A = this chain, B = another copy of it.
Amino acid sequence: MPRVPIQILQDEYYRVLLPTGLPPERAALVAQRLAENQRDGIYSHGLQRFPAFYASIAANGIDVRATPEKVGGLGAIEQWDGRMGLGVWNAHFGMGRAIELARSHGLGCVALRNTNHWMRAGSYALQATEAGCIGICWTNTIPLLPPWGSAEVRIGNNPLAMALPPAEAPMLLDMAMSQYANGKLEVYRNRGEALPIAGGYDADGMLTRDPAAILAARRAVPMGYWKGSALAVMLDTLAALLSGGLASHQIAGQGTERRVSQVFIAIDGRPLADAGAWSATVKAIVHDLQQAAPLVEGDPVRYPGERMRQTREESLRSGVVVDEKQWAALLAM
Contacts and interface: CB of A to CB of B under 8 A. Distances in A.
Nearest to A109: B107
Interface stretch (A52-60, A73-81, A82-90): A73-81
A147 B301 contact: yes
A267 interface: yes
Contact of A241 (B79, B238, B278, B294): B278
Contact of A72 (B227, B238, B271): B271
A294 B149 contact: yes
Contact of A285 (B77, B111, B148, B249): B249
Contact of A272 (B79, B268, B299): B79
A210 B151 CA distance: 26
A198 interface: yes
Nearest to A165: B241
A149 B244 contact: no
Nearest to A250: B284
Contacts of A273: 72, 241, 244
Assign chain A's interface to a size class. Answer: 35 or more
Interface string A230-266: 1101101110111010011110000000000000000
Given A154-B291, A197-B197, A106 B285 contact: no
A135 B207 CA distance: 34
Interface stretch (A14-22, A23-31, A171-179): A171-179
B149 A299 contact: yes
A94 to B, nearest CB: 15
* Most B-side CB within 10 Å, residue of A108, A197, A228, A295: A295
* Most B-side CB within 10 Å, residue of A151, A171, A230: A230
A215 interface: no
Contacts of A162: 234, 238
Contacts of A292: 146-147, 149-150, 152, 154
17 contacts: A74-B271, A76-B76, A77-B105, A77-B271, A147-B292, A149-B295, A150-B293, A152-B292, A152-B293, A173-B230, A175-B231, A197-B207, A223-B224, A233-B303, A241-B281, A247-B284, A247-B285
Interface of A: 72-79, 104-109, 111, 134, 146-152, 154-155, 162, 164, 171, 173, 175, 179, 197-198, 205, 207, 223-225, 227-228, 230-231, 233-234, 236-238, 240-242, 244, 247-250, 267-269, 271-273, 277-278, 281-282, 284-285, 288-289, 291-296, 299-304
